[in-house]
Amino acid sequence: MTSTLPTRTAQAPARTWTAVLFDLDGTIVDSETEITNSLAHMFVTMGLPVPDDETLRSYVGPPLLDSLRMTAGFTDADAWEALHVYRDHYDEHLLASPVFPGVAGVLERLHAAGMPIALATSKPESMARLVLEHTGLAKYFDVIAGASEDEERSTKADVVAEALRRLQAQGVDTADAVMVGDRGYDTLGAAANGVPTILVEWGYGSPAEAQDAFAVVHSADQLRSLLLG
């Protein structure tokens, strides 16, 4: 899909990265249709009007439970009920999301170069693993970190911290790790762990979300060049 992030090339200082963390939705897979359709189903099931498309897209990325409380104004009890309704529906369509063009090639090149790769997503870890296995991409990842089923680990900052911890447990040097994502939420979560972020234009971000990124790329080739030189 075409993103609304500002078009600017990856003009950033040359860096030698020691590990790469990837977001999932909007970065590796184009899951907007499946997620927003499940959100619409959730609102209907909860007896509420379905928000407009822009509002539904804003739910893609951040932890859904938090968004239901803060954006939709749900009580804790209603938020949990809505989350279960959403997951039951989304689980049936989870594997329909296609991989963005060129991304599989970037992962393959990174893996071939010996670059440690981790997934850091706010999607439940079990779901994320299924997506990567279905798309044939799981083999490129040293670590797959996502939200815990009980949502105790759900913020991007917590997930990035967990991904880094697991990489370090494998002996990976994470001193110069970088995050690849599509939302300002990725940038903030990575920054909380001292990690810079490269934002991809093909995702779901807005112009305001790009201001704190290390770089913005508009193609898989640009991303590969920035990660591998």
- The residues carrying an active-site annotation are 23
Phi, psi (rounded to 5 degrees) for 189: -65, -40
Cβ-contact 123, 25 below 8 angstroms: yes
Structure tokens at 199: 């934002």
Cβ-contact 19, 117 below 8 angstroms: yes
